[in-house]
Structure 1
């Protein structure tokens, strides 16, 4: 009895089909967006620890025009994914989820040296003008719109860094580095502020509480948006501004001194003493 063996060309053709299917599957996997579930978490071998060279904005997308979701301090340790796009590096949160992008040129592998940390504080941008609240209770808005959500409540005589005036609103900076908004009827523009001369123990205790507030902001944001990294990051910035304003008020330190206090506390390691 003679067996009917399959023709060689049929076998060869079948192998080609299988090979093409495997290529298509692999291509589809590699083309998944960075925020998809399959790429939300990374093995620890792919994660790199970096340190910031200066105040550095974390942006929602890898370009300089994208929304700022957080501002990092000089010498801050961050978790990164070694993927670059347009000169930006992916930044990960504590759950190894991508929550933003930083300019790669301001990240380095080693912490800043003591000499670098003690250079003149030209890394810190100081406003030329400020606003002082003139109403007893002022709503600080998320956007320049009376119907926008309220980030925090300001009290009479509190001061903030002024960026500009825009359509009936003062555009101010708070602790998160995000723009916030005050109706011009509630504040006045000023060009001076009291000196940065506060007792060392006051500054130290304020810094420690501010440091702890950052952890609370991240924890509360994670509880509210456990599986949505971008919403988490945005909510962290709101809570940062809300919680830290209460601390500056508690110690009667004007909020425009936030950067100086953070820098002083960082180089003196107040949070670890």
Structure 2
């Protein structure tokens, strides 16, 4: 367990700063405090179990105290993460038991920067924290789970699709390669991942497209990376799975 230095903190929030290079990850860990994972610059990512969130600077992820998670970066990032002492948080906030995406408005970003000042007088800190709590509003966007099947044959298919999400082979073609029938592969994917094969492949494709979108490249480029024939088909799949179209999810300002 890793924790920020809370000794002597007059309020509920401690802000931690750390930099990550592109592709770098902190190993799985947990905190005794709640964490709002936010990249002040760059695009961060958080992994909890089989779920991964990609976070441009307009989004952050609330990670409740005690939840094991890994934090990484899609590109070189500067993370400015507030840590919240559970016993000093409003009950409605501390009741968030699951990782929750929140919008980082310009006002919330400015307040986090304000609270990062260790010399901030206690009265000002308490007032700023109260506004921060008011601004923590859950969004309907979701993570993209990608659990791996345990079966060796299905695992071979899954690994190949992660390596090349644009691979359009059918289950029958994969079956001929792995020695399992299409029916067997279909059953194994659903039983061992909780996702149909089609939905699992969609998740793999969208996960591959996320770094492309995060880098600011056009939707058409992300669609090609993910193996979609048209940008509109990719946008529809993204919206249906994540809960928002790519242009909204990766908006520079909300």
Category of TM-score, reference length = shorter chain: under 0.3
Q: TM-score, normalization: structure 1?
A: 0.22
Larger Rg, first or second structure (1 or 2): 1
